[in-house]
Amino acid sequence: MKKLLLVLLIFLCILAFPYEKAKAARQQKGRAISLRVLQKIAKKCVSKQKCPYNLLYLCGIKKVLGYVIDEKNKDIILIGIVDETSPPLYLDDFVVALRNAYFKYAKLIGYVYYYSNPGCSIDPDSKVLKKLDKIGKKIYSYTSLEEIQDLLKNWHKVCHEPQKVSVFGIPFDTHFAKVMVEADYYMKRIVDGSVNLKIKGFKSLTDIIFDIIRKDITQGKPPSVPINFMNRFWFYPGEIKFHESKGIAYITQVEVRLLTEEQFLTRRGEIRGKGKANPLAEKFARSFTAKYSEIAKIKPIYAELEGLFRFVALAKLMKFKDVILESGLSLDYLLEEYPVKRVPVNRKLPGISNVKDFIYKKEFTGGYRKFYFCIPSCGGVSIDIKVDSHMIIKDNTGKLFKLKKLILKTRPSFEALFWDFLLKDEFGKFL
Protein backbone atom coordinates (compact mmCIF):
# COMPACT_ATOMS: atom_id res chain seq x y z
CA MET A 1 0.00 0.00 0.00
CA LYS A 2 2.83 2.37 0.88
CA LYS A 3 4.60 1.58 -2.37
CA LEU A 4 1.46 2.29 -4.41
CA LEU A 5 0.96 5.65 -2.64
CA LEU A 6 4.54 6.72 -3.40
CA VAL A 7 4.13 5.98 -7.11
CA LEU A 8 0.87 7.90 -7.18
CA LEU A 9 2.42 10.98 -5.55
CA ILE A 10 5.30 11.01 -8.06
CA PHE A 11 2.82 10.72 -10.93
CA LEU A 12 0.81 13.66 -9.60
CA CYS A 13 3.95 15.80 -9.25
CA ILE A 14 4.92 15.09 -12.86
CA LEU A 15 1.46 16.11 -14.02
CA ALA A 16 1.43 19.24 -11.89
CA PHE A 17 4.78 20.59 -13.12
CA PRO A 18 3.79 21.42 -16.70
CA TYR A 19 0.57 23.00 -15.43
CA GLU A 20 2.46 25.32 -13.09
CA LYS A 21 4.98 26.10 -15.84
CA ALA A 22 2.21 26.92 -18.31
CA LYS A 23 0.44 29.03 -15.70
CA ALA A 24 3.63 31.01 -15.05
CA ALA A 25 4.08 31.52 -18.81
CA ARG A 26 0.65 33.13 -18.96
CA GLN A 27 1.65 35.59 -16.23
CA GLN A 28 4.15 38.39 -16.62
CA LYS A 29 5.65 40.65 -14.01
CA GLY A 30 4.41 44.17 -14.46
CA ARG A 31 6.06 47.18 -12.87
CA ALA A 32 4.53 50.52 -11.93
CA ILE A 33 6.49 53.80 -11.62
CA SER A 34 5.24 56.93 -9.87
CA LEU A 35 6.09 59.99 -11.97
CA ARG A 36 5.41 62.23 -8.96
CA VAL A 37 8.02 60.41 -6.85
CA LEU A 38 10.38 60.10 -9.84
CA GLN A 39 10.36 63.88 -10.31
CA LYS A 40 10.89 64.45 -6.61
CA ILE A 41 13.94 62.16 -6.50
CA ALA A 42 15.31 63.57 -9.78
CA LYS A 43 15.23 67.14 -8.47
CA LYS A 44 17.41 66.16 -5.51
CA CYS A 45 19.85 63.76 -7.17
CA VAL A 46 20.47 65.84 -10.31
CA SER A 47 21.74 68.75 -8.21
CA LYS A 48 24.16 66.33 -6.52
CA GLN A 49 25.06 64.77 -9.91
CA LYS A 50 24.44 61.32 -8.49
CA CYS A 51 21.13 59.77 -9.52
CA PRO A 52 20.31 56.12 -8.72
CA TYR A 53 20.36 53.48 -11.45
CA ASN A 54 16.64 52.79 -10.95
CA LEU A 55 15.78 56.36 -11.81
CA LEU A 56 17.93 56.63 -14.94
CA TYR A 57 16.74 53.30 -16.38
CA LEU A 58 13.05 53.57 -15.52
CA CYS A 59 13.26 51.09 -12.66
CA GLY A 60 14.04 48.16 -14.93
CA ILE A 61 10.99 48.40 -17.19
CA LYS A 62 11.90 46.96 -20.60
CA LYS A 63 8.62 47.60 -22.42
CA VAL A 64 6.30 50.47 -21.61
CA LEU A 65 2.60 49.50 -21.64
CA GLY A 66 0.72 52.66 -20.69
CA TYR A 67 -0.30 54.80 -17.74
CA VAL A 68 -2.67 54.86 -14.77
CA ILE A 69 -4.02 58.03 -13.17
CA ASP A 70 -3.93 57.92 -9.37
CA GLU A 71 -6.60 60.52 -8.60
CA LYS A 72 -6.26 60.18 -4.82
CA ASN A 73 -2.52 60.94 -4.82
CA LYS A 74 -2.54 63.29 -7.85
CA ASP A 75 -0.10 61.05 -9.66
CA ILE A 76 0.55 59.51 -13.06
CA ILE A 77 1.77 55.92 -12.92
CA LEU A 78 3.78 54.50 -15.82
CA ILE A 79 3.28 50.77 -16.27
CA GLY A 80 5.47 48.31 -18.13
CA ILE A 81 6.94 44.82 -18.29
CA VAL A 82 10.15 43.61 -16.68
CA ASP A 83 11.99 41.37 -19.15
CA GLU A 84 15.60 40.40 -18.53
CA THR A 85 16.21 39.54 -22.21
CA SER A 86 15.49 43.02 -23.59
CA PRO A 87 17.71 46.14 -23.66
CA PRO A 88 17.04 48.80 -20.99
CA LEU A 89 14.77 51.80 -21.38
CA TYR A 90 16.16 55.24 -20.57
CA LEU A 91 14.45 57.98 -18.59
CA ASP A 92 16.15 60.48 -20.91
CA ASP A 93 14.44 58.93 -23.96
CA PHE A 94 11.04 59.16 -22.28
CA VAL A 95 11.70 62.82 -21.38
CA VAL A 96 12.73 63.59 -24.98
CA ALA A 97 9.56 61.95 -26.32
CA LEU A 98 7.46 63.84 -23.77
CA ARG A 99 9.03 67.20 -24.66
CA ASN A 100 8.57 66.56 -28.37
CA ALA A 101 4.88 65.69 -27.85
CA TYR A 102 4.35 68.88 -25.83
CA PHE A 103 6.10 71.00 -28.52
CA LYS A 104 9.05 71.93 -26.32
CA TYR A 105 11.42 71.45 -29.28
CA ALA A 106 9.30 73.43 -31.75
CA LYS A 107 11.36 76.21 -33.34
CA LEU A 108 10.14 79.79 -33.43
CA ILE A 109 10.90 81.42 -36.77
CA GLY A 110 9.46 84.90 -37.00
CA TYR A 111 6.02 84.59 -35.46
CA VAL A 112 5.48 80.94 -36.31
CA TYR A 113 6.42 77.78 -34.39
CA TYR A 114 7.60 74.90 -36.58
CA TYR A 115 7.14 71.38 -35.23
CA SER A 116 8.71 68.14 -36.42
CA ASN A 117 8.21 64.54 -35.37
CA PRO A 118 11.38 62.80 -34.11
CA GLY A 119 13.39 61.49 -37.01
CA CYS A 120 16.76 61.24 -38.73
CA SER A 121 18.29 60.69 -42.14
CA ILE A 122 21.68 59.67 -43.53
CA ASP A 123 22.10 61.16 -46.99
CA PRO A 124 24.90 60.78 -49.57
CA ASP A 125 26.08 63.87 -51.39
CA SER A 126 24.52 64.26 -54.84
CA LYS A 127 28.03 64.61 -56.34
CA VAL A 128 28.91 61.19 -54.93
CA LEU A 129 25.80 59.69 -56.53
CA LYS A 130 26.72 61.18 -59.91
CA LYS A 131 30.18 59.62 -59.67
CA LEU A 132 28.67 56.25 -58.73
CA ASP A 133 26.19 56.48 -61.59
CA LYS A 134 29.04 56.96 -64.09
CA ILE A 135 31.06 54.10 -62.61
CA GLY A 136 28.01 51.84 -62.60
CA LYS A 137 27.32 52.42 -66.30
CA LYS A 138 30.94 51.61 -67.12
CA ILE A 139 30.81 48.40 -65.06
CA TYR A 140 27.89 47.07 -67.05
CA SER A 141 29.43 48.02 -70.41
CA TYR A 142 32.92 46.62 -69.85
CA THR A 143 33.74 42.98 -70.68
CA SER A 144 37.28 42.69 -69.32
CA LEU A 145 37.40 41.14 -65.84
CA GLU A 146 40.47 43.21 -64.93
CA GLU A 147 38.80 46.46 -66.01
CA ILE A 148 35.70 45.62 -63.98
CA GLN A 149 37.80 44.85 -60.90
CA ASP A 150 39.53 48.25 -61.19
CA LEU A 151 36.16 49.98 -61.52
CA LEU A 152 34.82 48.16 -58.46
CA LYS A 153 37.80 49.34 -56.40
CA ASN A 154 36.96 52.88 -57.45
CA TRP A 155 33.29 52.21 -56.65
CA HIS A 156 34.13 51.22 -53.07
CA LYS A 157 36.40 54.25 -52.64
CA VAL A 158 33.76 56.73 -53.82
CA CYS A 159 30.98 54.95 -51.97
CA HIS A 160 32.77 55.25 -48.63
CA GLU A 161 32.88 59.03 -48.84
CA PRO A 162 31.15 60.65 -45.80
CA GLN A 163 27.35 61.00 -45.76
CA LYS A 164 25.50 63.72 -43.88
CA VAL A 165 23.57 62.79 -40.74
CA SER A 166 20.50 64.89 -39.89
CA VAL A 167 18.26 64.73 -36.82
CA PHE A 168 14.79 66.25 -36.65
CA GLY A 169 12.35 67.20 -33.89
CA ILE A 170 14.72 66.54 -30.97
CA PRO A 171 18.21 67.62 -29.84
CA PHE A 172 21.03 66.12 -31.92
CA ASP A 173 23.34 64.84 -29.18
CA THR A 174 20.95 62.59 -27.26
CA HIS A 175 20.64 58.86 -26.70
CA PHE A 176 17.28 59.04 -28.50
CA ALA A 177 18.95 60.38 -31.64
CA LYS A 178 21.84 57.91 -31.33
CA VAL A 179 19.45 54.93 -31.39
CA MET A 180 17.66 56.23 -34.49
CA VAL A 181 20.91 56.87 -36.37
CA GLU A 182 22.43 53.49 -35.45
CA ALA A 183 19.25 51.63 -36.45
CA ASP A 184 19.16 53.55 -39.73
CA TYR A 185 22.84 52.95 -40.49
CA TYR A 186 22.82 49.24 -39.71
CA MET A 187 19.64 48.75 -41.74
CA LYS A 188 21.65 49.70 -44.85
CA ARG A 189 23.90 46.72 -44.22
CA ILE A 190 20.88 44.45 -44.01
CA VAL A 191 19.47 45.90 -47.24
CA ASP A 192 22.61 45.30 -49.29
CA GLY A 193 23.58 41.98 -47.71
CA SER A 194 26.75 43.22 -46.00
CA VAL A 195 25.53 41.23 -42.99
CA ASN A 196 23.60 37.97 -42.93
CA LEU A 197 21.18 37.69 -40.00
CA LYS A 198 20.49 34.02 -40.82
CA ILE A 199 16.75 34.32 -40.34
CA LYS A 200 14.71 31.66 -42.10
CA GLY A 201 12.74 33.09 -45.02
CA PHE A 202 14.49 36.48 -44.88
CA LYS A 203 16.82 37.75 -47.63
CA SER A 204 18.58 41.02 -48.29
CA LEU A 205 17.45 43.09 -51.27
CA THR A 206 20.75 42.28 -52.98
CA ASP A 207 20.15 38.54 -52.57
CA ILE A 208 16.57 38.83 -53.84
CA ILE A 209 17.80 40.52 -57.03
CA PHE A 210 20.83 38.28 -57.35
CA ASP A 211 18.81 35.06 -57.16
CA ILE A 212 16.60 36.24 -60.03
CA ILE A 213 19.56 37.23 -62.21
CA ARG A 214 21.47 34.00 -61.54
CA LYS A 215 18.37 31.95 -62.48
CA ASP A 216 17.92 33.96 -65.69
CA ILE A 217 21.56 33.51 -66.75
CA THR A 218 21.74 29.80 -65.99
CA GLN A 219 18.59 29.34 -68.10
CA GLY A 220 20.15 31.23 -71.00
CA LYS A 221 17.92 34.31 -70.58
CA PRO A 222 18.93 37.97 -70.29
CA PRO A 223 18.46 39.51 -66.78
CA SER A 224 14.73 40.13 -66.22
CA VAL A 225 15.20 42.79 -63.53
CA PRO A 226 16.98 46.15 -63.65
CA ILE A 227 20.15 46.28 -61.57
CA ASN A 228 20.92 49.99 -61.57
CA PHE A 229 18.15 51.48 -59.43
CA MET A 230 18.14 53.52 -56.23
CA ASN A 231 15.78 53.18 -53.28
CA ARG A 232 15.04 55.10 -50.13
CA PHE A 233 14.12 53.12 -47.02
CA TRP A 234 12.75 54.54 -43.79
CA PHE A 235 11.08 53.36 -40.60
CA TYR A 236 7.54 54.52 -40.00
CA PRO A 237 4.81 53.65 -37.50
CA GLY A 238 2.25 51.14 -38.75
CA GLU A 239 -0.78 50.14 -36.69
CA ILE A 240 -0.99 51.99 -33.37
CA LYS A 241 -3.79 51.00 -30.99
CA PHE A 242 -4.72 51.75 -27.42
CA HIS A 243 -7.37 50.41 -25.05
CA GLU A 244 -8.64 52.69 -22.33
CA SER A 245 -10.94 52.81 -19.35
CA LYS A 246 -11.46 55.48 -16.71
CA GLY A 247 -8.01 56.59 -15.56
CA ILE A 248 -6.04 53.94 -17.45
CA ALA A 249 -4.67 53.63 -21.00
CA TYR A 250 -2.94 50.54 -22.38
CA ILE A 251 -0.84 50.23 -25.52
CA THR A 252 -2.09 47.21 -27.45
CA GLN A 253 -0.08 47.68 -30.64
CA VAL A 254 2.81 49.80 -31.90
CA GLU A 255 4.06 48.45 -35.22
CA VAL A 256 7.39 49.47 -36.73
CA ARG A 257 7.25 49.32 -40.52
CA LEU A 258 9.98 49.65 -43.09
CA LEU A 259 8.80 51.70 -46.08
CA THR A 260 10.50 52.33 -49.41
CA GLU A 261 10.35 54.57 -52.46
CA GLU A 262 12.31 54.34 -55.68
CA GLN A 263 14.45 57.37 -56.43
CA PHE A 264 16.32 58.76 -59.38
CA LEU A 265 19.11 61.23 -60.03
CA THR A 266 18.18 64.23 -62.19
CA ARG A 267 20.53 65.72 -64.77
CA ARG A 268 21.30 68.44 -62.25
CA GLY A 269 22.41 65.77 -59.78
CA GLU A 270 19.38 66.14 -57.51
CA ILE A 271 17.73 63.16 -55.80
CA ARG A 272 14.03 62.86 -56.55
CA GLY A 273 11.42 60.35 -55.52
CA LYS A 274 9.34 58.56 -58.17
CA GLY A 275 6.30 58.43 -55.91
CA LYS A 276 6.19 54.65 -56.05
CA ALA A 277 8.17 51.69 -54.77
CA ASN A 278 10.31 49.33 -56.79
CA PRO A 279 8.51 45.93 -56.55
CA LEU A 280 11.60 44.07 -55.31
CA ALA A 281 12.49 46.78 -52.79
CA GLU A 282 8.90 46.71 -51.56
CA LYS A 283 9.10 42.92 -51.20
CA PHE A 284 12.19 43.34 -49.04
CA ALA A 285 10.55 46.09 -46.93
CA ARG A 286 7.47 43.94 -46.29
CA SER A 287 9.69 41.02 -45.30
CA PHE A 288 11.70 43.22 -42.93
CA THR A 289 8.48 44.44 -41.29
CA ALA A 290 7.12 40.89 -40.94
CA LYS A 291 10.39 39.68 -39.42
CA TYR A 292 10.97 42.77 -37.26
CA SER A 293 10.66 40.98 -33.90
CA GLU A 294 13.11 38.27 -35.02
CA ILE A 295 15.54 40.91 -36.30
CA ALA A 296 15.26 42.79 -32.99
CA LYS A 297 16.26 39.66 -31.06
CA ILE A 298 19.46 39.37 -33.10
CA LYS A 299 20.16 43.12 -33.26
CA PRO A 300 18.93 44.77 -30.00
CA ILE A 301 19.16 48.22 -31.61
CA TYR A 302 15.79 47.47 -33.24
CA ALA A 303 14.26 46.56 -29.87
CA GLU A 304 15.52 49.96 -28.69
CA LEU A 305 14.02 51.62 -31.76
CA GLU A 306 10.65 50.02 -31.02
CA GLY A 307 11.00 51.34 -27.47
CA LEU A 308 11.31 54.87 -28.89
CA PHE A 309 8.21 54.34 -31.00
CA ARG A 310 6.29 53.27 -27.89
CA PHE A 311 7.55 56.30 -25.93
CA VAL A 312 6.43 58.67 -28.69
CA ALA A 313 3.05 56.94 -28.98
CA LEU A 314 2.51 57.12 -25.20
CA ALA A 315 3.66 60.73 -24.91
CA LYS A 316 1.34 61.81 -27.72
CA LEU A 317 -1.55 59.92 -26.16
CA MET A 318 -0.88 61.69 -22.84
CA LYS A 319 -0.97 65.03 -24.66
CA PHE A 320 -4.08 64.06 -26.63
CA LYS A 321 -5.95 62.97 -23.46
CA ASP A 322 -4.64 65.92 -21.41
CA VAL A 323 -3.46 63.51 -18.71
CA ILE A 324 -1.45 66.15 -16.82
CA LEU A 325 -4.54 68.27 -16.24
CA GLU A 326 -6.71 65.26 -15.40
CA SER A 327 -4.25 63.88 -12.84
CA GLY A 328 -3.47 67.20 -11.17
CA LEU A 329 0.24 66.41 -11.33
CA SER A 330 2.60 69.02 -12.72
CA LEU A 331 5.33 67.56 -14.94
CA ASP A 332 7.10 70.90 -15.32
CA TYR A 333 10.41 69.55 -14.03
CA LEU A 334 10.57 66.79 -16.64
CA LEU A 335 9.23 69.06 -19.38
CA GLU A 336 11.39 72.10 -18.63
CA GLU A 337 14.27 71.56 -16.21
CA TYR A 338 15.50 67.96 -16.12
CA PRO A 339 18.93 67.90 -17.85
CA VAL A 340 18.96 65.27 -20.59
CA LYS A 341 22.44 63.76 -20.78
CA ARG A 342 24.54 64.75 -23.79
CA VAL A 343 25.39 61.71 -25.94
CA PRO A 344 27.60 62.54 -28.96
CA VAL A 345 26.13 61.58 -32.35
CA ASN A 346 28.22 61.62 -35.53
CA ARG A 347 27.45 64.44 -37.97
CA LYS A 348 28.87 62.33 -40.81
CA LEU A 349 29.17 58.60 -41.42
CA PRO A 350 31.09 56.74 -44.13
CA GLY A 351 29.00 55.27 -46.92
CA ILE A 352 28.48 51.50 -47.04
CA SER A 353 29.20 49.37 -50.09
CA ASN A 354 28.81 45.73 -50.97
CA VAL A 355 29.44 43.84 -54.21
CA LYS A 356 27.98 40.43 -54.93
CA ASP A 357 29.15 38.53 -57.99
CA PHE A 358 29.35 35.13 -59.61
CA ILE A 359 31.02 33.61 -62.67
CA TYR A 360 28.91 31.35 -64.84
CA LYS A 361 30.85 29.15 -67.26
CA LYS A 362 28.88 28.13 -70.35
CA GLU A 363 30.49 25.59 -72.66
CA PHE A 364 29.79 25.30 -76.39
CA THR A 365 31.40 23.60 -79.42
CA GLY A 366 34.94 24.83 -79.76
CA GLY A 367 35.24 26.52 -76.35
CA TYR A 368 33.34 28.20 -73.51
CA ARG A 369 32.27 31.64 -72.25
CA LYS A 370 32.44 33.16 -68.80
CA PHE A 371 29.72 35.52 -67.52
CA TYR A 372 30.68 37.93 -64.76
CA PHE A 373 27.88 39.75 -62.92
CA CYS A 374 28.01 42.15 -60.02
CA ILE A 375 25.42 44.10 -58.06
CA PRO A 376 27.20 47.02 -56.41
CA SER A 377 25.18 48.68 -53.67
CA CYS A 378 25.59 51.96 -51.84
CA GLY A 379 23.59 54.88 -50.50
CA GLY A 380 21.86 56.39 -47.49
CA VAL A 381 18.52 55.70 -45.86
CA SER A 382 16.21 57.87 -43.78
CA ILE A 383 13.80 57.47 -40.90
CA ASP A 384 10.56 59.42 -40.71
CA ILE A 385 8.76 58.74 -37.43
CA LYS A 386 5.30 60.25 -37.27
CA VAL A 387 2.58 59.49 -34.75
CA ASP A 388 -0.20 61.94 -35.47
CA SER A 389 -3.36 59.89 -34.93
CA HIS A 390 -4.37 57.21 -32.51
CA MET A 391 -7.02 54.55 -32.50
CA ILE A 392 -8.41 54.45 -28.96
CA ILE A 393 -10.73 51.57 -28.10
CA LYS A 394 -12.97 51.79 -25.05
CA ASP A 395 -12.70 48.70 -22.87
CA ASN A 396 -16.19 47.50 -22.03
CA THR A 397 -15.08 44.26 -20.37
CA GLY A 398 -14.07 45.86 -17.08
CA LYS A 399 -10.66 44.16 -17.24
CA LEU A 400 -8.66 47.37 -17.60
CA PHE A 401 -10.42 49.06 -14.71
CA LYS A 402 -9.76 45.93 -12.64
CA LEU A 403 -6.08 46.18 -13.62
CA LYS A 404 -6.03 49.82 -12.49
CA LYS A 405 -7.48 48.86 -9.11
CA LEU A 406 -4.88 46.08 -8.75
CA ILE A 407 -2.00 48.47 -9.51
CA LEU A 408 -3.19 51.10 -7.04
CA LYS A 409 -4.01 48.49 -4.39
CA THR A 410 -0.50 46.97 -4.54
CA ARG A 411 1.19 50.37 -4.14
CA PRO A 412 3.22 49.89 -0.93
CA SER A 413 3.31 53.56 0.15
CA PHE A 414 2.72 57.13 -0.93
CA GLU A 415 6.48 57.63 -1.43
CA ALA A 416 7.17 54.39 -3.33
CA LEU A 417 9.07 55.01 -6.58
CA PHE A 418 8.05 51.68 -8.11
CA TRP A 419 6.34 48.39 -7.26
CA ASP A 420 5.46 45.12 -8.99
CA PHE A 421 2.16 43.50 -9.91
CA LEU A 422 1.16 40.41 -11.88
CA LEU A 423 -0.31 40.72 -15.35
CA LYS A 424 -2.57 37.69 -14.94
CA ASP A 425 -4.43 35.60 -17.49
CA GLU A 426 -7.46 37.87 -17.38
CA PHE A 427 -5.39 40.78 -18.73
CA GLY A 428 -3.87 38.66 -21.51
CA LYS A 429 -6.11 40.28 -24.11
CA PHE A 430 -4.24 43.54 -23.63
CA LEU A 431 -0.69 42.14 -23.79
In this prediction the pTM is 0.85
Judge whether 149 and 374 are in contact, CB under 8 Å: no
Confidence class for position 14, pLDDT limits 50, 70, 90: very low
User: Domain-by-domain residue ranges, the chain?
Assistant: 114-331+342-384
- Residue range 40-44: mean pLDDT, rounded: 94
Is the model's pLDDT at 263 over the cut of 70?
Answer: no
Per residue in 361-373, pLDDT (tens digit) is: 666 565 555 554 5
Confidence class for position 393, pLDDT limits 50, 70, 90: confident
Share of the chain above pLDDT 70, in %: 77
Q: Which residue has the higher pLDDT, 27 or 121?
A: 121
Per residue in 413-423, pLDDT (tens digit) is: 999 999 999 88
What's the pLDDT at 365?
Answer: 60
Q: Which residue has the higher pLDDT, 285 or 136?
A: 285
Is the model's pLDDT at 226 over the cut of 50?
Answer: yes
- Residue range 129-148: mean pLDDT, rounded: 72
Residue 320: which region, alpha, beta or left (left: phi > 0; alpha: psi -120 to 50)?
A: alpha
Is the model's pLDDT at 8 over the cut of 60?
Answer: no
Residue 259: which region, alpha, beta or left (left: phi > 0; alpha: psi -120 to 50)?
A: beta
Among 112, 93, 116, 92, which residue's Cα sits nearest to residue 104? 116
Q: What's the mean per-residue pLDDT of the chain?
A: 81
CA distance 406 to 408: 6
Is the model's pLDDT at 73 over the cut of 70?
Answer: yes
Question: What is the secondary structure of 263-331 as a DSSP string?
Answer: EEE-TTS-EEE-SS--HHHHHHHHHHHHTHHHHHHHSTHHHHHHHHHHHHHHHHHHHHTTHHHHHT---
* Total residues found in the chain within this entry: 431
Question: Any idea what the Cα angle at residue 295 is, between residues 291 and 300, rounded to 5°?
Answer: 145
